[in-house]
């Protein structure tokens, strides 16, 4: 005898909806139960909407066409690597400190802003300002807790991870101003001093976990190549500008040494150095392994091969057009990365293979700090 629900399309529809609802609740529960708290400092590589919120800048289509299917203030066709990091940590995406509407700060805050630098005069949101914003947020949150208003952050501040990804704009600006290679290298000591000041400031205010990214291969960006390449003798084996990458590597060596020094100086601090340069350079050097066809060409821009980048005709301008499939490109707009590239970058960060000392970010995130 047939059961009343067998073959009943209405019952099957209701059952599928119940299953989907349960799956959604489980996914939300896992995100809510995550113990991770992440405070992120940086530039456009990890800005999830600060530039748009802080300066009212409208970043129109086709940015955001993947995943979000709308503009979000992210300089990409979709998610940034920091979004994928949050997914990997089973936490909600980081809301920006400057966003006044609809923000969720329960698992941390993003302070990164487009154009931010370590040590550039006149920069509106340098690393030092971002740290001051963090300290204000922390103090204000504690005031609200004391008033019984609850904490905007669900876990202890001291157990949070403080990630820093900044420095690309400092080096790029120096080259743009026609500094000689030795002059560009002379910027590194001041930059490293500012990084050290930022870490110590957060440490003195209770921070104990620091996740420090080095800077990426500046010489592989389509913008850099389109504006500064003069002849093939300047290029390395994979078509990137050698001098630009060498300057980035020189700065990165100094940053690695700084992290090692601070591990010895700051009691009970965990300071992890993450080799973002190697992660991103691998996308260029071994692009076919990732299904990428155009490693040095912008998906969205103007001018066509080899770089599809031209000043004042950049992505978002009426003269610019976007490629059909961003998944076949490393660069979205000549400076920033496609969602596909960002996903690969995040997976390598989370693999722990590119961190010194080798550290699993998920485990670090949930460890309780001892003083």
Pairing, β 294-298 against β 329-331: parallel
Q: Is 77 a catalytic residue?
A: no
What integer pLDDT is reported at residue 8 of this predicted model? 53
3-state DSSP: the chain helix, strand, coil percent, rounded to 5? 45, 10, 45
What integer pLDDT is reported at residue 23 of this predicted model? 42
Chain length of the chain: 371
Confidence of residue 63 (pLDDT cuts 50, 70, 90): very high
Query: Are 172 and 219 contacting, i.e. CB atoms less than 8 angstroms apart?
Result: no
Mean pLDDT to the nearest integer, 131-154: 81
Distances (CA, A) of 345 to 6, 7, 24, 146: 47, 47, 27, 40
Per residue in 74-125, pLDDT tens?
999 999 999 999 999 999 999 999 998 888 888 999 999 999 999 998 899 9
Query: Are 187 and 174 contacting, i.e. CB atoms less than 8 angstroms apart?
Result: yes
**Among the options 44, 188, 327, 331, which is catalytic?**
44
Residues 6+ apart with CB under 8 A from 198: 41, 127, 128, 131, 164
Per residue in 181-199, pLDDT tens?
999 999 999 999 999 999 9
Q: Is 44 a catalytic residue?
A: yes
Read off the DSSP letter of residue 96.
Answer: B
Structural tokens at position 257: 């040494």
Structural tokens at position 126: 């340098």
Q: Is 182 exposed, middle or buried (0-12, 13-18, 19+ CB in 10 A)?
A: exposed
Query: Are 206 and 158 contacting, i.e. CB atoms less than 8 angstroms apart?
Result: yes
Query: Are 93 and 367 contacting, i.e. CB atoms less than 8 angstroms apart?
Result: no
Q: What angle do CA 57, 39, 266 make, to 5 degrees?
A: 135
DSSP for 42-66, written as a single string: ESTTS-SSHHHHHH-----TTTTTT
Mean pLDDT to the nearest integer, 273-289: 98
Confidence of residue 213 (pLDDT cuts 50, 70, 90): very high
Task: Please state, rounded to an integer, the average pLDDT across all residues of the chain.
Answer: 90
Query: Are 76 and 331 contacting, i.e. CB atoms less than 8 angstroms apart?
Result: no
What integer pLDDT is reported at residue 155 of this predicted model? 59
Residues 6+ apart with CB under 8 A from 311: 227
Per residue in 322-363, pLDDT tens?
999 999 999 999 999 999 999 999 999 999 999 999 999 999
Q: What pTM did the predictor assign?
A: 0.89
Within 10 angstroms of residue 330's Cβ, the number of other Cβ atoms is 28
- Of the candidates 189, 247, 194, 192, which has an alpha carbon nearest to the alpha carbon of residue 218? 247
pLDDT for residue 26 is more than 80: no
């Amino acid at each position: 005898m047939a059961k009343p629900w067998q073959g009943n399309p209405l019952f099957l529809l209701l059952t599928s909806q119940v299953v989907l609802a349960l799956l959604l609740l489980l996914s939300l529960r896992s995100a809510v139960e995550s113990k991770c708290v992440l405070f992120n400092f940086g530039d456009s590589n990890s800005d999830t909407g600060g530039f748009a919120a802080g300066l009212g800048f409208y970043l129109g289509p086709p940015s955001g066409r993947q995943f979000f299917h709308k503009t979000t203030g992210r300089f990409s066709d979709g998610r940034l690597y920091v979004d994928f990091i949050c997914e990997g940590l089973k936490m909600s995406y980081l809301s920006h400190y400057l966003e006044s509407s609809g923000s969720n700060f329960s698992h941390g805050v993003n302070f990164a802003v487009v154009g931010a630098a370590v040590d550039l005069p006149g920069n509106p949101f340098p690393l030092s300002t971002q740290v001051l914003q963090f300290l204000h947020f922390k103090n204000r949150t504690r005031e609200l807790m004391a008033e019984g208003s609850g904490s905007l952050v669900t876990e202890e501040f001291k157990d949070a991870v403080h990630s820093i990804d900044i420095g690309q704009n400092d080096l790029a600006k120096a080259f743009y101003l026609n500094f000689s290679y030795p002059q560009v290298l002379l910027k590194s000591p001041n930059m490293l001093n500012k990084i050290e000041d930022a870490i110590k400031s957060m440490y003195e205010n209770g921070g104990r976990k620091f996740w420090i990214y080095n800077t990426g291969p500046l010489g592989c960006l389509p913008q850099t190549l389109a504006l500064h390449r003069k002849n093939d003798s300047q290029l390395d084996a994979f078509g990137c500008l050698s001098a630009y990458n060498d300057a980035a590597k020189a700065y990165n060596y100094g940053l690695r040494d700084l992290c090692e020094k601070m591990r010895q100086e700051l009691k009970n601090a965990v300071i992890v150095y993450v080799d973002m340069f190697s992660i991103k350079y691998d996308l260029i050097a071994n692009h076919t392994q990732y299904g990428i066809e155009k490693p040095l060409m912008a998906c969205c821009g103007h001018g066509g091969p080899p770089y599809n980048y031209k000043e004042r005709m950049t992505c978002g301008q009426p003269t610019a057009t976007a490629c059909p499939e961003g998944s076949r490109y490393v660069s979205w707009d000549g400076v920033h990365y496609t969602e596909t590239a960002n996903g690969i970058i995040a997976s390598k960060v989370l693999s722990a293979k590119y961190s010194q000392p080798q550290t699993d970010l998920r485990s670090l995130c949930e460890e309780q700090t001892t003083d």
